[in-house]
Amino acid sequence: MSTETTTTTSTAGSTAKRWGSQIAQIAAIVGIVFLGKGALAEPFYVPSASMEPTLLIGDALLATKFPYGYSTASLPIHVAFPETGRVFASTPKRGDVVVFRWPGDRSQVWVKRVIGLPGDHVELRGGQVWINGKATAVQADGIGAAEDDSGGSEPAQRYVETLPGGVAHPIFKLRNNGRLDNTPDVTVPPGHLFVMGDNRDNSADSRVPVSQGGVGLLPMDNLVGRVDAIVGSWDLGVRSQPVANWWSGLRFARFFTGVH
């Protein structure tokens, strides 16, 4: 064999090794990111006004995966695996803000607040939540602005609702005698949750069956994680302005704030 042939073969082998090493490194990085998003935490984006005033359109959320255990819903991409239940399962606390896969289409990820736990009786009377025969405490908290995804807004009555157990959080009421202000008493079955949006007149939640575009009683197997923080926020209303002004839509005061 000639020296030229030996050198060419050696160079090709070195190149193949370098490419193999780089591919292995990229695969390792992808694997670590996938594992982290599947097991630890994952970012999500708020596209709707259903959780105002707690969450605004344009908020970027960080949902931690481990508080409730893991199921196929925990995967960072939707894969139509058969349901196998949850491992290391834990029931959410009343008042937690949770991310979950919508029962009507598990490729969609929604966010709501846990109001009723398994075994609870939940109903609404005149817009006020009743849990196990007792009304939640509600205190007026002035007027807020309920935004929409085009940047418009309308006045909303703001209240602070305190759930059994002591979790207090703000809610919006856009109108009195809304279509979801009075609901029948519902017993939350085992393995399910009653969830609601904080924007009470603009949320298709457990008050609305899945067949009508709501959540219905949410299976805990659909849980993705608990929302613990807002990591960034951008006001979509600035999209109608020149691109040079879009930076003004950054809501720096909401960056890296907790969600309660």
Listing DSSP states for 185-202 in one string gives: EEEPPTTEEEEE-SBTTS
pLDDT of residue 18: 55
Distance (Å, whole) CA 98 – CA 44:
11
The C-alpha atoms of residue 102 and residue 106 are separated, in whole angstroms, by 5
Task: State residue 210's pLDDT score.
Answer: 98
Which residue of the set 50, 74, 203, 233 is catalytic?
50
Instruction: Summarize pLDDT for 51-89 with one digit per residue, the tens.
Output: 999 999 999 999 999 999 988 877 766 566 566 678 878
Catalytic residue among 65, 71, 74, 112: 112
Cβ neighbours of residue 134 under 8 Å, at least 6 residues apart?
A: 164
Among residues 25, 56, 69, 63, the alpha carbon closest in space to that of 172 is found at: 56
Quick: pLDDT tens for 157-190: 999 999 999 999 999 999 998 899 999 999 999 9
Report the run of H or E that residue 6 belongs to, with start and end.
helix 3-39
Q: Are strands 257-258 and 223-233 parallel, antiparallel or unpaired?
A: antiparallel
Q: For residue 31, is pLDDT > 50?
A: no
C-alpha pair distances (Å), 85 with each of 100, 106, 188? 14, 15, 18
150 is known as an active-site residue? no
Q: Is 10 a catalytic residue?
A: no
pTM score: 0.81
Structural contact between residues 98 and 44, judged by C-beta atoms closer than 8 angstroms: no
| pLDDT: which is higher, 260 or 186 | 186
8 A C-beta contact, residue 160 and residue 139: yes
